[in-house]
With several copies, the nearest count.
Chain A
Amino acid sequence: MRIAVQADSFDPGAELTRFAAGHTDQGAIVSFSGLVRDVTGGLEAMQIEHYPGMTERAIEQIAFQAKTRWNLGDVLVIHRYGSLTVGEIIMMVATTAPHRTDAFEAAEYLMDYLKSRAPFWKKEVTSQSADWVAAKDEDEDALSRWDGS
């Protein structure tokens, strides 16, 4: 399990190559990469604040929950903080599993929990404004699908 919280950029492809190389006994590898997207137009920067110390712990807990819940080989989570521009990589998760369904579901679970339970906050800066991104109801709703089963 590798968890990295970092300011530095990274290449999700290079990370996937490294992650996959260690897991040739697993049949399925799923990756998710999140990039800065200019939704409204005019985005100059996406600033990401986090809570050093807690961030790593929170991600570790989420990853352990995923490993308890699904038959997984390994988990990778990389999340950046600092000032990013449009098109830049924000974060990545990857999972390996014997079967594709486990790898897919665990990756979606990790994403849903990272979105709403890991201490990161995004701020969108344009030439006109600098606004904290509001949490979306749909992201909170996404968590509920993992309840109880």
Chain B
Amino acid sequence: MKLQVMYFAWLRERIGQGSEQVETDAATVAELVAELRTREARYDLAFSDLSAVRVAIDQELTDLDASLDGAREVAFFPPMTGG
């Protein structure tokens, strides 16, 4: 499947781009992360501490175990610091 993958804050900076199209067969977010980490060192570095990574599927907060079934947009970012 084709996913729009987005990165924010220091994940965006480490990976060097804000979004990209990813062709993947990953069934869960965790599988997608594992796949991205094998690609290039910048991904591996960005995802080295998963406790500091939050994820949203189609703009709803979820977690790494979530299924990618039907997903179109997956976003990765650090804990939010708004307000």
Contact = CB atoms under 8 A, between A and B. Distances in A.
Nearest to B13: A132
A134 B82 contact: no
Nearest to B54: A119
B16 interface: no
Nearest to A28: B83
Contact of A121 (B6, B56, B59, B77): B77
B83 A34 contact: yes
A26 B59 CA distance: 33
A135 B8 contact: no
B78 A119 contact: no
A83 interface: no
Max chain A C-beta neighbours (<10 A), residue from B8, B56, B60, B81:
B81
Contact of A116 (B12, B77, B79): B79
Nearest to A57: B59
A91 B80 CA distance: 15
Interface in A35-81: 48-51, 53-54, 57-58, 79
Interface of A: 34, 48-51, 53-54, 57-58, 79, 90-91, 100, 111, 114-123, 132-135, 140
Contacts of B10: 132
A121 B80 contact: yes
A143 to B, nearest CB: 11
A54 B77 CA distance: 13
A123 B81 CA distance: 9
Contacts of B46: none
A132 B56 contact: no
Interface string B1-15: 000001011101000
A117 B81 CA distance: 8
B9 A114 contact: no
